[in-house]
Amino acid sequence: NGRPQISASSFRDVVIDGRQSEDGAPEQGGATVSITVVGASGDLAKKKIFPALFALFYEDCLPEHFTVFGYARSKMSDEELRNMISLTLTCRIDQRENCSDKMEQFLKRCFYQSGQYNSEEGFSELDRKLREKEAGKLPNRLFYLSIPPNIFVDVVRSASRTASSSSGWTRFIVEKPFGRDSESSGELTRSLKKYLDEEQIFRIDHYLGKELVENLSVLRFSNLVFEPLWSRNYIRNVQLIFSEDFGTEGRGGYFDNYGIIRDIMQNHLLQILALFAMETPVSLAAEDIRNEKVKVLRSMRKLRLDDVVVGQYKGHSKGGKSYPAYVDDPTVPSGSITPTFAAAAVFIDNARWDGVPFLMKAGKALHTRRAEIRVQFRRVPGNLYRRNIGADLDKATNELVLRVQPDEAIYLKINNKVPGLGMRLDSSELNLLYSERYRREIPDAYERLLLDAMEGERRLFIRSDELDAAWAIFTPVLRELEERRVAPELYPYGSRGPVGAHYLAANYNVRWG
Ligand code: NDP
Ligand code: BG6
């Protein structure tokens, strides 16, 4: 029906305890968590945040005492907010009973406050309403900034002054984009830190909340068979691939300001790369993991223009249906050269990864929707079976694929003897397909991240020094692309993207998976 499925899951063994203060001490009257979605009338709030909150409620993962507030400029009553939210809530696929009861119970806890983003009045009024709900309990407050980035600081200024919790914690989840380059990102960080401590800021990259991305470290650090191979000695190249089979429909105005490198590569793909390539952290504590990620990012070479290919989709007709060009979007300025596709080769100059190309590819309006990590291993030296392998030896290497979405899976391509009296080898897969192995539905990334923010778990959020290091890799090339007005290679909507991406990979002796 086109509506997002609620994909809740009790993925936590321990339900968060609403009766604890910041230092973990039990409170007499219990604690309450108020979650205020700023920008509640917007796309992300409707599509992801409210459904994720409902999913957590459904699975009893929210504290006993919680309240959800929507805040935006649009005029709405509590009832209208509830109606709006209810349109995007659906029951789980396994259709347990009492779903509509649960929805009703959830919606009763949802309220709305209209106000300007830079006005202390609006947030004071919100504060007054929050206090009513929190009466007698330790008040903890979470603000989710689901708004355009140019008003982040206004909201943080007003909300931190007038609507911070008096005795519990106050946290702000901030959505990307975190600036457009090193300078603007640094400026944003400094402005936020005028009003908040770093511990209060939860910079979200929802790819870190995806199941397969979380599993990356488990796969590597708790299976002996992988970690010893995880280096330049055995890995030939690593590919990080993001593709969508639809264009920027509806978000062209936002997108044109950023482009695919800022929208996907500098954050989602780079975060995956950092987790993939980091050294073993001292522990699973957030700071230990983030310290290792920062080290990887700081060891990376700044991306060079020669190592980037950019593209933009053009209109296309197929089977009697026509697909629009990027520049056909009325919110996109005509003649825009903003890339909707990019491929890049990046390098980590440290002992583990010296010389290994990490190839990234991200594009909109391609032939398929997928996000994958592909690890191609080196050739077996002196392979005894080289004559029995049909393909050339470079193709017959092992490949480990983590399919982040859709149809989450981990599979390993191996050379295997084709059964029979002869000795012929083919490439087969050891395949862990999640839908076959695990019956439980996979929670949406936003569920995990919202729960983490409520628990004060920062492992999956971006620290400011990580952000600085990430921008340092991309800022010079972004500037060069813009100053030189590099024209993107046009590719038809629904195609595999520009051929330039293949030449780039070929420079490093790589074939895209
Ligand atoms: P929207 O453009 O839908 O904006 C959210 C709300 O902010 C609107 O409903 C509107 O509320 C208010 N708003 C919009 N434009 C302005 C403006 N120029 N000045 C003041 N208020 C404005 O954004 P999304 O919901 O799509 O995204 C929210 C944030 O999340 C953004 O930072 C975006 O980059 C990020 N994001 C979004 C994703 C998505 O899929 N949508 C995915 C990943 C990140 P009102 O008029 O009622 O005040
Ligand atoms: C967002 C980007 O961060 O991620 C969008 O701004 C993109 O352009 C989206 O469509 C993809 O997220 P997902 O979870 O649907 O793969």
Q: What DSSP assignment string belongs to 153-183?
A: HHHHHHHHHHSS-SSS-EEEEEPSP--SSHH
What pLDDT, in 10s, does the model give residues 59-115? 899 999 999 999 999 999 999 999 999 988 877 655 555 688 889 999 999 999 999
Chain centroid, CA 198 distance in Å = 20
pLDDT at 74: 97
Relative to the alpha carbon of 175, which ligand is closest?
A: 1
Distance 321 CA to ligand 2 centre (A): 25
What pLDDT, in 10s, does the model give residues 410-438? 999 999 999 999 999 999 999 999 999 99
Distance 207 CA to ligand 2 centre (A): 9
Say if ligand 1 is within 6 A of residue 252 CB. Answer: no
Neighbours of 334 (CB within 10 A): 7
pLDDT at 96: 56
Using CA atoms, how far apart are residues 257 and 330, in angstroms rounded to an integer? 14
Relative to the alpha carbon of 114, which ligand is closest?
A: 1
Relative to the alpha carbon of 254, which ligand is closest?
A: 1
Relative to the alpha carbon of 331, which ligand is closest?
A: 1
Say if ligand 1 is within 6 A of residue 175 CB. Answer: yes
Distance 205 CA to ligand 2 centre (A): 10
Residue with tokens 């959800």: 68
Q: Which of 268, 316, 367, 502 is catalytic?
A: 268
Distance 264 CA to ligand 2 centre (A): 7
Residue with tokens 């990356």: 216
Distances (CA, A) of 7 to 93, 262, 266: 8, 28, 27
Using CA atoms, how far apart are residues 153 and 192, in angstroms rounded to an integer? 6
Distance 333 CA to ligand 1 centre (A): 20
pLDDT at 100: 85
Looking from the CA of residue 176, the nearest atom of ligand 2 is 3
For CA atoms 82, 444, 284, 436, the dihedral sign is positive
Using CA atoms, how far apart are residues 308 and 276, in angstroms rounded to an integer? 21
Closest to 113 measured CA to CA, from 146, 138, 80: 80
Q: Can you list the residues of the chain whose pLDDT is less than 70?
A: 1-29, 92-98, 391
Whether 268 is catalytic is yes
Neighbours of 224 (CB within 10 A): 7
Say if ligand 1 is within 6 A of residue 249 CB. Answer: no
CB 298 within 8 A of CB 467: no
Using CA atoms, how far apart are residues 497 and 494, in angstroms rounded to an integer? 8
Say if ligand 1 is within 6 A of residue 38 CB. Answer: no
Q: Nearest residue CA, atom 15 of ligand 1? A: 148
ipTM (interface pTM) = 0.97
CA dihedral 173, 204, 330, 246 (to 10 degrees): -140
pLDDT at 130: 96
Say if ligand 1 is within 6 A of residue 336 CB. Answer: no
What pLDDT, in 10s, does the model give residues 163-188? 988 899 999 999 999 999 999 999 99
Amino acid at 79: E
Say if ligand 2 is within 6 A of residue 181 CB. Answer: no
Q: Nearest residue CA, atom 5 of ligand 2? A: 263
